[in-house]
A and B are shown apart, each in its own frame.
Chain A
């Protein structure tokens, strides 16, 4: 064979070996730096703000002052109180729902499943608005039943939080209950265990990690929830609203930072616990026989009733917002009108435009950032890999309020080279990108794991270097995962409030935040109209992109056949 090109190998090899270590290091730094700047630095700023006295000395004075104040102690107690109860209620209802769908033979499983996931596609404030329209001071219940229910406070937050958290807990429990081994049940039956005994001795133990996971996940969501207590809290203060009051109301950044840190730690612990438990989740052995429920109306009947009740609540809360947005004066005059869609408030449709701009930017930036981080972690062999991985998943444990506050403290600083970002839509996008970085990163990682590593090896043996292989093999093959990331970011960016509430200005206010401001101003009908518009915008964009993708696939097929 021709060996005339052999000398090349040796010279390339030395150059390559010299370059390889440096290149790996450089790539890792390029991936780590933005995470350090947009996640670690804001968190560090909060921590510093909470212990830095005006005279420049470090102390725990602010924490001491906070703890001595009975009002703050009450806030802390309220937060834990409502979060724990909401978490337990969410987990119990979600368990029942998942159990009914996974372990009984109720009819209409697809429908029940879809309804449960509906809230994920709606602005997070929709539950609060819906509860208000049904049970609030001017709610339909008080109006037509003549009752005098006061929902504002503990019960309002509890109800809205439960409705908001249900799909998240349901997804975890559904996976956990789906992995059932019929052989265990048969063994228990042969040993003489009755139905209830089997539930206690087989079902619960095999699902215990799922239940614990759901509890920790639910707690992390509930304790950092901002929109629901803002709308329905009344005088019942919780940490998330207290941060907002201290910072936005009284410009007390030190106390805001202290509360931020107080909020950060339980969430950090919950998320860490959830991940730890998730890893121990019993995997079902490959010899397992899948559990097949049998028809038993004594169980299926009550279960159907239960599913119907929960599903009705979910649909009613979302539906009432849509209906209210089209009525003249909810609940007094139920005549049809489109006037609330005029959005004649400051901002108006401009806010929707801001939201769309921001969400598209978030989708694109997020897609690039998360995919890049996942690819680098996938390829890297050095210790920097662990650093990058940890930084990539840490945002899952940072409540939006805390991240947002960190952004204000960190980037509202003219001496910073990236100060120009402050007050721009770009910073809102970046904040959202890093707020949801962990989830997007995991989608990308899963996508990468599905690409057969032999394809990359084939590319290397054919002469493709790392960059060439990434561009021509890996990236085209993970395009579906990247599309999922883009979609994920778009949807969350359209509805998120908590991280952005500190970063908005009159010129730059996304639609989801406008809902909150409109509601605060007592302009409920327009808040409802805006929430409805957001829901339909998301649906339209998601369906539009799906249709485009489908069309592109068809075109591609036709070209290849011609």
Chain B
């Protein structure tokens, strides 16, 4: 999965970090290209924030290397890296005004007075908060505070922008708005960005590439559609959406069997394949003209959800859920027998790793 592409701006190789015997990140390797927006996605405790802190220099890895534009910065302290960072808790300096917060990094980097003033103005206009320049952080709403934090992080023209769950303390509406604004800003400025999140929808919406993590390990790296449609592990499949996992048998010929019937899948079958996955929205009710992958099933539960109806069915002895879109005029009561179709190109082989 590692690309040793020299075009990559930021590159991690074999990064590990443990705290008091607990391994937070193990052997993480990854290359991020200039101008790209990469999401670190995973449940809490998966090591995504630690990995971000290692990149920022706030933590130092136990082993491995971090390079920026080909230079080793593994042990450089954060103040020499010029990476902009935005925290979940905003972390604006409470005793400084909005303007002084944005100017803080410029002062540290010895910008002149005139340059500083015009840059602060420019950044605040960029996040549409220019009129709040003399306010103290506590006089702003959460969303406004986070915009100031983004302006502050961007003011010093950082090499990379690091965002640590920046929207999770905000309510849903503000979150969606700010997320969109941030994405626009990012592509407009072309700044290389890493966003840490546990929200798969957020990752899908904004990321060029998603890095899915679990237990300190990188499970998969890929674009949103790649990760969604071609999850490499059952964990990734389950974390970036719902998926039905079905046990399959192997016939003497090597063909896959499900509920005693042959199961066709797209592409070659792995030798050790014992499980396949299919997303609920990919399963359809059989219409009768299918030539393969039609299976009889019993309805267990039927739930009307507006634009779709969600069905829980039993196929042989395995549970499966599917979503039927469009207007379903007929009631589908529990106990009904029906046939479902599993499109071959939608079926994925599931490996443990």
B16 interface contact, C-beta 8 A = no
In the assembled complex, A111 has its CB within 8 A of some CB on chain B: no
Is A465 at the interface (CB under 8 A from chain B)?
A: yes
Binds A, one of B68-76, B231-239, B290-298: B68-76
Asked, given contacts A1-B190, A455-B91, A477-B94, whether A463 binds B156 with beta carbons under 8 Å apart, the answer is yes
> Smallest CB–CB gap between B19 and chain A, Å?
14
Of the candidates B34, B85, B152, the one whose C-beta lies within 8 Å of that of A1 is: B34
Interface centre among A3, A16, A460 (most CB of B within 10 A): A460
Contact present for A462 and B73 (CB under 8 Å): no
22 contacts between A and B (CB under 8 A): A1-B34, A1-B158, A1-B160, A2-B157, A2-B159, A3-B69, A7-B71, A8-B80, A10-B71, A10-B76, A12-B76, A12-B80, A452-B91, A458-B87, A459-B93, A461-B58, A461-B83, A463-B156, A464-B79, A465-B77, A465-B79, A477-B95
Which of A457, A464, A560 is the one whose CB lies under 8 Å from B91?
Answer: A457
Complex contact B134–A17 (CB within 8 A): no
Within 8 A of B (CB), among A120-178: none
Q: Which residues of B contact A465 (CB under 8 A)?
A: 77, 79, 108
**A218, B136: Cα distance in complex, Å:** 46
Shortest Cβ distance from A475 into B: residue: B95
Looking at chain B's contact residues, is the secondary structure mostly helix, strand, loop, or mixed?
loop
Interface SS majority for chain A = helix
CB distance from B192 to the nearest CB of A (A): 6
Confirm or deny: B89 has a beta carbon within 8 angstroms of a beta carbon on chain A: yes
Q: Are A1 and B191 in contact (CB under 8 A)?
A: yes
Instruction: Please tell me the number of chain B residues within 8 Å of chain A, measured between CB atoms.
Output: 47
A472 within 8 A of B: yes
CA distance A10 to B78 in the complex (A): 13
Assembled-state Cα–Cα distance A560/B95 (Å): 11
Query: A92 interface residue, CB < 8 Å from B?
Result: no
Q: Are A455 and B159 in contact (CB under 8 A)?
A: no
Inter-chain contacts of B104 with A (CB < 8 A): 459, 462, 464, 472
- Asked if A190 is at the interface of the complex by the 8 Å CB criterion, the answer is no
Least Cβ–Cβ distance between B116 and chain A, in angstroms: 13
Q: Say if the beta carbon of A449 comes within 8 Å of chain B.
A: no
Determine whether the beta carbon of A455 is less than 8 Å from that of B83. no
CB atoms of B191 and A463 under 8 A apart: no
B118 to chain A, nearest CB (A): 18
A1 touches B9 (CB 8 A): yes
* Interface residues in chain B, defined as those with a beta carbon under 8 Å from any beta carbon in chain A: 9, 34-35, 56-58, 68-69, 71-73, 75-85, 87, 89, 91, 93-95, 97, 104-105, 108-109, 134-136, 152-153, 156-160, 162, 190-192
- Give the Cβ gap from B166 to chain A, nearest Cβ, in Å: 12
Residues on the B chain within 8 Å of A1, using CB: 9, 34-35, 157-160, 190-192
Q: Is A292 an interface residue (CB 8 A)?
A: no
Report yes or no: B76 in contact with A464, Cβ–Cβ below 8 A.
no
Chain A interface (Cβ < 8 Å from any Cβ of B) = 1-3, 5-10, 12-13, 16-17, 452, 454-455, 457-465, 468, 472-473, 476-477, 560
| B80-A9 in contact (CB<8A) | yes
Contact B97 A560 (CB under 8 A): yes
Measured between C-beta atoms, what is the minimum distance from A73 to chain B in Å?
A: 53
| Smallest beta-carbon distance B89→chain A, Å | 6
Q: Which residue of B lies closest to A476 (CB)?
A: B95
User: Within the assembled complex, what's the spacing in Å between the Cα atoms of A22 and B239?
Assistant: 47
Which of B80, B105, B160 has the most C-beta atoms of chain A within 10 angstroms of its own C-beta?
A: B80
Tell me the bound Cα distance from A460 to B97 in angstroms: 19
CB-CB under 8 A from A472, the residues of chain B are 93, 104
Q: B156 to chain A: which residues have CB within 8 Å?
A: 462-463
With contact pairs A9-B68, A463-B108, A560-B134 given, residues A454 and B87 touching in the complex (Cβ less than 8 Å): yes
Q: Which residue of B lies closest to A562 (CB)?
A: B134
Residues of chain B lying within 8 A (CB to CB) of residue A459:
93, 104, 108
CB distance from A480 to the nearest CB of B (A): 11
Whether B9 lies near A9 (C-beta < 8 A) is no
Say which residue of B108, B135, B159 sits within 8 Å of A462 (CB atoms): B108
A464 to B152, CA, bound (A): 13
Query: Are A463 and B73 in touch, CB under 8 angstroms?
Result: no
Complex: chain A residue closest to B87, CB-CB: A454
- Closest Cβ of chain A: how far from B17's Cβ, in Å? 16
When distances are taken between beta carbons in the complex, the residues of chain A under 8 Å from B58 are 457, 460-461
* Nearest CB in chain A: distance from B139 CB, A: 9
Question: Are A468 and B108 in contact, with the CB atoms below 8 A?
Answer: yes
Q: How far is the CB of B245 from chain A (nearest CB, A)?
A: 38
Expressed in whole angstroms, the Cα–Cα distance for A462 and B103 within the complex equals: 10
